[in-house]
């Protein structure tokens, strides 16, 4: 029997079409919160990222057309999930926001136009970009004070995350102390943000070691 992955509050297509904007917005918020809990708090997503993005975009469109329907606790006004009680809470000095997606060429060009506007340059002025693959890991913020690693925190809900400093300190590529170069001094405070991830080959090696020891594999 196939597992029913329909989140609480979801309606059949026919009933969905009959909903007024307020009703559909409520349904979308419930679905998005459900998937946020699965993704951010349980590490068990049940739908592809693209399907999740469609839910968020539909809710954003409804709220843009009906600003009176926007609520402070709407998923469009927040990022990620709630911090769990295993780790101490950390309030981010600057909120950790999520990245916007460009689903087609038109949206990418619109983003480029916003970049030019923000830089105050016209279409004739060359603008350079540095691009790299987006690795879907765990968003992390690492803070250095006086060149020393003092705190590492997860994104959490964008405003409050979890203190994972001891965990991040075990990552070999994360220095515990910054070294000045001849041209650049170590800043008094530096906050670095990125993604923490485990390569598939290393993950497979860990599972092989688990199996050899008679222990359960990680999902």
Q: Which of 67, 99, 134, 183 is catalytic?
A: 134
Q: What is the DSSP letter of 183?
A: S
Q: What is the DSSP letter of 166?
A: H
Which regions of the chain does DSSP assign to beta strands (E)?
89-91, 138-145, 148-154, 160-162, 189-196
As to burial, measured by CB atoms within 10 angstroms (0-12 exposed, 13-18 middle, 19+ buried), residue 39 is: middle
Listed in sequence order, the residues at least 6 apart from 7 whose beta carbon sits closer than 8 Å to its beta carbon are 30, 31, 34, 35
How far apart, in whole angstroms, are the C-alpha atoms of residue 76 and residue 74?
5
Residue entry with tokens 């309606």: 11
Give the pair of three-digit tokens for residue 40. Answer: 């951010």
**Does the active-site annotation cover 134?**
yes
Give the pair of three-digit tokens for residue 142. Answer: 């690492």
How far apart, in whole angstroms, are the C-alpha atoms of residue 210 and residue 217?
6
Q: Which residues are marked as active site?
A: 134
């Amino acid at each position: 029997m196939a597992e029913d992955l329909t989140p609480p509050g979801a309606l059949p297509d026919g009933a969905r079409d009959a909903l007024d904007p307020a009703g559909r917005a409520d349904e979308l918020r419930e679905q998005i919160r459900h998937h946020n809990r699965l993704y951010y708090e349980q590490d068990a997503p049940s739908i592809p990222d693209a399907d999740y993005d469609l839910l968020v975009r539909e809710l954003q469109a409804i709220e843009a057309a009906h600003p009176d329907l926007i609520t402070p606790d709407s998923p469009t006004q927040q990022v990620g999930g709630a911090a769990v009680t295993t780790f101490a809470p950390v309030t981010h000095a600057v909120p950790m926001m999520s990245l916007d997606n460009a689903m087609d060429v038109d949206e990418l060009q619109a983003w480029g136009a916003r970049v030019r506007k923000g830089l105050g340059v016209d279409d004739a002025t060359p603008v350079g970009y540095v691009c790299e693959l987006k690795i879907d890991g765990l968003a992390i913020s690492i803070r250095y004070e006086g060149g020393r690693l003092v705190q590492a925190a997860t994104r959490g809900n964008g405003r409050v995350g979890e203190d994972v400093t001891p965990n991040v300190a075990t990552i070999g590529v994360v220095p515990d102390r910054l070294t000045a170069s001849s041209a650049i001094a170590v800043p008094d405070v530096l906050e670095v943000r990125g993604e923490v991830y485990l390569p598939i080959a290393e993950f497979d090696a860990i599972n092989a070691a688990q199996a050899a020891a008679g222990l359960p594999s990680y999902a």
